[in-house]
Structure 1
Amino acid sequence: MQQLLADLERTGQLIRVTQEVDPYLEVAEIQRRAYRAKAPAILFTRVKGTTFPMVCNVFGTMERTRWIFRDSLRALEGVFALKVNPFDFFKQPWRYAGVPRAVYSTMPKKVRTGPVMEAETTVSKLPQLYSWPMDGGGYVTLPQVYTESPDKPGFMSSNIGMYRVQLTGPSFETDKEVGLHYQIHRGIGYHHAEALRRGQPLKVNVFVGGPPAMTLAAIMPLPEGIAEILFAGALAGFRIPMIHRPGELPMLAEADFCICGTVHPGEQKPEGPFGDHLGYYSLAHDFPLMRVDAVYHRKDAVWPFTTVGRPPQEDTVFGAFIHELTADLVPTVFNGVREVHAVDQAGVHPLLLAIGSERYVPYAAERQPQELITCGLSLLGTTQTSLSKYVLIAAHEDAPDLHTHDFPRFFRHMLERTDLTRDLHYITRTTIDTLDYTGISLNQGSKLIWAACGPRKRPLCESLPTGFSLPQGFSDARLFMPGVAVVQGPRHTAARDEHDNAMFRLAEHLHGIQGRDGEGQQVPLAGLPLVVVADDAAFTAKDWDNFLWVTFTRSDPATDMYGAGAFTHCKHWGCAGPLIIDARLKSFHAPPLEEDPEITRRVDTLAAPGGPLHGIL
């Protein structure tokens, strides 16, 4: 980290702020503004309540992130390329000159000691970052949580994850306990399960800082069985030095901080609330309690941090960088899938757009989803894509130049080809992202595979159809894009895991006006296959960012999708159309994130003429 900051400062990519700043909300708002402004990294040398400097926005742009890994990126790309096509090495061996070193760098280097053990401190003396007003305490937001398999100890069966760590709060005994929040389908869970089966504590080390490759490794969606520390070495371009201590968990030698602790069987405490990356608070729930054994740090330690919230945020860059590295690997992991896009604007896991192949019956008179459904099930069956809630998948054969990042064209392509009586496939009462509060309970909700292929089935309306109307309680209908209307609905009052009768009224009304208006004129709704109901139609229909965020972070497929002329046949649900998505905030949802006005005014002052951040934010 010290080498990186010196490198950034030397090249004009880092500024120092010597005026005292507050880790309670203030530095978080500065960081969010710095990201939006594509500002340099910012090093705060005087932080209230701690002696440790803090640094933010290190990975604030794709250009800076690529630059950080400039010396090793080409070799790592070569490793991935050979995974896709091993025989290319014999055709173009000069392209892979750095691959042997990258492979050599994967194995960590055992050392006896390192800078991280130069000094000790306590949890309460660490920077206590609060990102949002309702946060339940100070948090580590760029942790590298390291564990090893109790059944097979060692680097090869280790896991590094970016699981949030709550340092302080009413649940935790000061300096002795911290909260360890890990979401469903995370590698640490397998290690924890092994420890519980053995009836023994799980040792955990939380690294902060150190080689930036470790930070990226902590969020890399690697297949089960591949240790993140191996990827970190390849990305860093050198073997990661790890302090090996008999009977203890290895420590990252070059880390700025290391919190060593243990998770004992049966010990949990409430963790949260915390403003999270879907744009809402994740509320307080029981999560594993980590007893703190020691807190080590370098003498020159710097505390790196970020904040999360409604996308885009700095973690957007992480996702884009990982996608750039791994895009060519998608077909090797998911047979038949050509492209995937976990949509950042929708909070990543709620919406996955994909393009697959439809080759099962190439001789059929009309192509219909078959292989696409297999592709969708594959995406929901492995790696981090299994947490996706809505999977919309189109056939490559219908439009070879279609891409998932072109939202207007992708959605138009899907809506023109979808058969609403056939192409919606639900999986109910299954696991969903821990942070998603749209489901029927924590970690439980539904998923939808929406597959569409074949010839165009309908032209999409370019304006609201003449005679289009709404029942009482619904208003402000707007055409967001061809074929998609956004309407304002009444406040949601239904309980969790229940349909809303108001939505049935809307579906019945829309089904009823499919025919002729009062003057005997046709009112065709075939060109309007999708209607989204929101609390604020104007906000939702303003742009794609708002539409994707509201529609897919505020709805559960099984509970919140309705349809005009809906039917269930042999447990398959469909509708004549339009399809309706209830994207209102529900009565049981966690609240959206909002900044503190007083903090906003304070940061405005820092960014005003004469302030230390003038011209930066």
Structure 2
Amino acid sequence: MGYINTRECLDALEERGELVRIDTPVDAFIEAGAIQRRVFRAGGPALLFTKVKGCRFPMAANIYGTRERMRFIFRDTIATVQRLMKLKLNPMEALKKPWQYLGAPRTAWHTMPRTVETGPVMECEAALSALPGLVSWPMDGGAYVTLPQVYTESPDNPGFAGSNLGMYRVQLSGGEFLPEREVGLHYQIHRGIGHHHAQAIARSEPLRVNVFVGGPPAMTLAAVMPLPEGLAEVFFAGAMAGHRIPMVRHEGGLPIPAQADFCLCGRIMPGEQKPEGPFGDHLGYYSLTHDFPVMRVDRVYHRPDAVWPFTTVGRPPQEDTVFGEFIHELTAELVPSVFSGVHEVHAVDAAGVHPLLLAVGSERYVPYAEDRQPQELLTNAMALLGNTQTSLSKYVLIAAREDLAPGMSCHDIPAFLDHLLRRVDLARDLHFITRTTMDTLDYSGISLNQGSKLVLAAAGKVKRSLAAELPADLDLPRGFRDARVFAPGIMVLKGPAHRRKRDQQDPALDALGEALSQVRGIEGFPLIVVADDAAFTARDWDNFLWVAFTRSDPATDIYGAGAFTHAKHWGAKLAVIIDARLKTYHAPPLEPDPEVERRVDALGGPGGPLHGII
């Protein structure tokens, strides 16, 4: 059976040697988050801050900081849940190997929450100001809940079956929010809570919202799980927890997990919005201040021994990376059942997840063709852009499974890009979708929530050799320099500072494309990336992926050597150029506070609680 609450989980981790208590007073303002990130990068243990300055509640971090720890926490149920997912793929398996699925009915029973009259979470109340004021980055606009479980029910169809549980960030303080009465609720485009909010607005009613913090670890996992439309996250939580989640049916309000550490109960009033942000986000930049819904807080409940779990996000990898890897482990075999013809997907964490999606699909439409071209692959790519969280992808790079070497996976990024760049027809195989919806956190587009997408599909024979040395007569226009080979077929070079306005292309990049089209051998570099710092960008794959795909909008920032437009189709005869410079309108990258980093260094020194860990 899975852990029923946070304390039980932390006790088990401590007994296993996977938790360290920090009894030194720690500030929730910047310091606690900096410690968590440093310990995560070191592959270190979970942390329990027992003395938080100015706060009576302890804080816990890095609980899910390694895949091994994640598997340990869910060790009792992970195999059964995976079998249940396989059963969805092939129901006949249960008849062929019934002994493997004996636990399935019991797991199905666990999915249904259990209604109880009360629980530990209802025993105490607190003011909003009493909660830990976690500020993760220096420019954050206030304190945030960073592991929230935001629960709503459909106003048109109330109850667990019509519920949504999501991890939408909650701003506890700062800005224009009324102290002790209001918090900001930032939910991104294409989130389940949006459907409930729309229903409430149509009914001219407030939308009731409960924000849970802590409790069964399975509830935290469920809040980030990309489940199919219509499948309530609380049901998945029960399966992952290995027991029915006890929920208190609060009179006149939404249910509350009996074992949660905290619960903020409130309402979003129709038409009420206030500025939320800035917030240091998981793409590695600040998301800036924008109007989002306001939640009026009616009550804050907490259990007597409450612990405040938290994480921080920033440039990947971070603790949320582990969630993504674990979710992939659970769902990889379900991909073909959700996306017909798609065999594998990889939302690239180093590129911020949504900016870059790699995929393997089938290309069977014209199997008799002497040289196949992407056709079914385009159907596959459009399916990916039309369903679930993959619809937020900005770049979709998809290759035909029929062409892959045995054992090749799109999770092997260098090998996959090498395969794709050898086969893509740059004049034919780039397909743009312009002025469409995009990830709320991505500032590379033409406005908030709006930008473009690119599908780059490759199938058929090898079309070029990839160069490993710069062309001998490479002559760059003024302002461009420091060209270097990053990988076979990929060149990185430094460009002048960007000075254009949003939604404008840069004539300097057109001039670069024209100049490169005259260089002999440039066809050996089908991908050229222009950056502010070529050395940093070309240092490793993490840097390259982060710079190239988080700092560019396909329609605005792609140029070409031998570029042309024909019947509204854009292509390049020789090479594609991505302008990955920081733009005048981009949000600033996250930078740590040097003084706080020095304090963290001291904690890792001899005699410090983190000695030998960081």
Fold-level similarity (TM above 0.5):
yes
| SS of residue matched to 1:575 | strand
CA-CA distance at 1:170 after TM superposition: 2.6
The question of whether the paired residues in 1 share the 8 Å contact of 2:49 and 2:59 is answered with yes
Instruction: Return the letter of the residue paired with 1:600.
Output: E
In 2, distance between residues paired with 1:11 and 1:527?
53
The question of whether the paired residues in 1 share the 8 Å contact of 2:209 and 2:265 is answered with yes
Residue of 11, 19, 29 corresponding to 2:24: 19
Instruction: Return the letter of the residue paired with 1:550.
Output: V
CA-CA distance at 1:252 after TM superposition: 1.2
- Per the alignment, residue 456 of structure 1 pairs with 462
In 2, distance between residues paired with 1:245 and 1:526?
66
| SS of residue matched to 1:2 | helix
Residue of 349, 354, 379 corresponding to 2:359: 354
1:530-569 matches, within 5 Å, as 530-569=527-566
**Cα distance per residue 1:197-253 (max 9 Å; x no partner):** 000000000000000000000000011111100100000011111111343111111
| SS of residue matched to 1:445 | strand
- Per the alignment, residue 259 of structure 1 pairs with 264
| SS of residue matched to 2:205 | coil
- Per the alignment, residue 595 of structure 1 pairs with 592
In 1, distance between residues paired with 2:156 and 2:92?
37
**Cα distance per residue 1:18-74 (max 9 Å; x no partner):** 111000010101000111111111101100121000000100100010000011111
- Per the alignment, residue 389 of structure 1 pairs with 394
Instruction: Return the letter of the residue paired with 2:569.
Output: H
| SS of residue matched to 1:447 | strand
CA-CA distance at 1:2 after TM superposition: 1.1
Residue of 515, 518, 521 corresponding to 1:512: 518
- Per the alignment, residue 427 of structure 2 pairs with 421
Residue of 521, 524, 529 corresponding to 1:524: 521
| SS of residue matched to 1:316 | helix
**Cα distance per residue 1:271-328 (max 9 Å; x no partner):** 0000000000000000000001000000000000000000000000000000000000
1:345-494 matches, within 5 Å, as 345-399=350-404, 400-494=406-500
In 2, distance between residues paired with 1:182 and 1:428?
23
In 1, distance between residues paired with 2:208 and 2:85?
32
**Cα distance per residue 1:417-441 (max 9 Å; x no partner):** 0101100000000000000000000
- Per the alignment, residue 3 of structure 2 pairs with none
Residue of 46, 51, 54 corresponding to 1:46: 51
**Cα distance per residue 1:398-435 (max 9 Å; x no partner):** 01432111111101111100101100000000000000
In 2, distance between residues paired with 1:127 and 1:472?
53
In 2, distance between residues paired with 1:552 and 1:49?
41
In 1, distance between residues paired with 2:101 and 2:477?
64
In 1, distance between residues paired with 2:151 and 2:229?
15
Matched residues, percent identical? 67
Matched, 1:615 2:585: no
The question of whether the paired residues in 2 share the 8 Å contact of 1:23 and 1:128 is answered with yes
In 1, distance between residues paired with 2:285 and 2:523?
35
**Cα distance per residue 1:564-608 (max 9 Å; x no partner):** 121111111111121100000000000000000000011111111
Superposed CA RMSD in Å reads 0.7
CA-CA distance at 1:459 after TM superposition: 0.6
- Per the alignment, residue 519 of structure 1 pairs with none
Instruction: Return the letter of the residue paired with 2:535.
Output: A
The question of whether the paired residues in 2 share the 8 Å contact of 1:530 and 1:577 is answered with no
Matched, 1:334 2:339: yes
The question of whether the paired residues in 2 share the 8 Å contact of 1:272 and 1:284 is answered with yes
- Per the alignment, residue 165 of structure 1 pairs with 170
CA-CA distance at 1:97 after TM superposition: 2.0
In 1, distance between residues paired with 2:512 and 2:522?
14
CA-CA distance at 1:171 after TM superposition: 1.1
Instruction: Give unmatched runs, 5+ long, in structure 2.
Output: 1-5
CA-CA distance at 1:512 after TM superposition: 2.6
The question of whether the paired residues in 2 share the 8 Å contact of 1:483 and 1:530 is answered with yes
| SS of residue matched to 1:89 | helix
In 1, distance between residues paired with 2:337 and 2:456?
22
- Per the alignment, residue 102 of structure 1 pairs with 107
In 1, distance between residues paired with 2:41 and 2:501?
37
- Per the alignment, residue 206 of structure 1 pairs with 211
The question of whether the paired residues in 1 share the 8 Å contact of 2:85 and 2:334 is answered with yes
The question of whether the paired residues in 1 share the 8 Å contact of 2:175 and 2:276 is answered with no
The question of whether the paired residues in 2 share the 8 Å contact of 1:533 and 1:582 is answered with yes
- Per the alignment, residue 142 of structure 2 pairs with 137
- Per the alignment, residue 62 of structure 1 pairs with 67
**Cα distance per residue 1:445-495 (max 9 Å; x no partner):** 000110001000001011112112211100000000011100000000010
CA-CA distance at 1:442 after TM superposition: 0.2
Tell which deviates more after alignment, 460-469 or 588-597.
460-469
In 2, distance between residues paired with 1:565 and 1:36?
43
CA-CA distance at 1:10 after TM superposition: 1.2
In 1, distance between residues paired with 2:506 and 2:217?
48
1:183-194 matches, within 5 Å, as 183-194=188-199
| SS of residue matched to 1:328 | helix
Instruction: Give unmatched runs, 5+ long, in structure 1.
Output: 514-522
- Per the alignment, residue 87 of structure 1 pairs with 92
Matched, 1:502 2:508: yes
- Per the alignment, residue 270 of structure 1 pairs with 275
Residue of 116, 133, 140 corresponding to 1:128: 133
- Per the alignment, residue 517 of structure 1 pairs with none
- Per the alignment, residue 36 of structure 1 pairs with 41
Residue of 305, 318, 322 corresponding to 2:327: 322
In 1, distance between residues paired with 2:608 and 2:154?
50
The question of whether the paired residues in 2 share the 8 Å contact of 1:145 and 1:206 is answered with yes
Q: TM-score, normalised by structure 1?
A: 0.98
In 1, distance between residues paired with 2:78 and 2:521?
54
State the number of aligned residues.
608
Tell which deviates more after alignment, 11-20 or 335-344.
11-20
Instruction: Return the letter of the residue paired with 1:552.
Output: F
Tell which deviates more after alignment, 270-279 or 406-415.
406-415
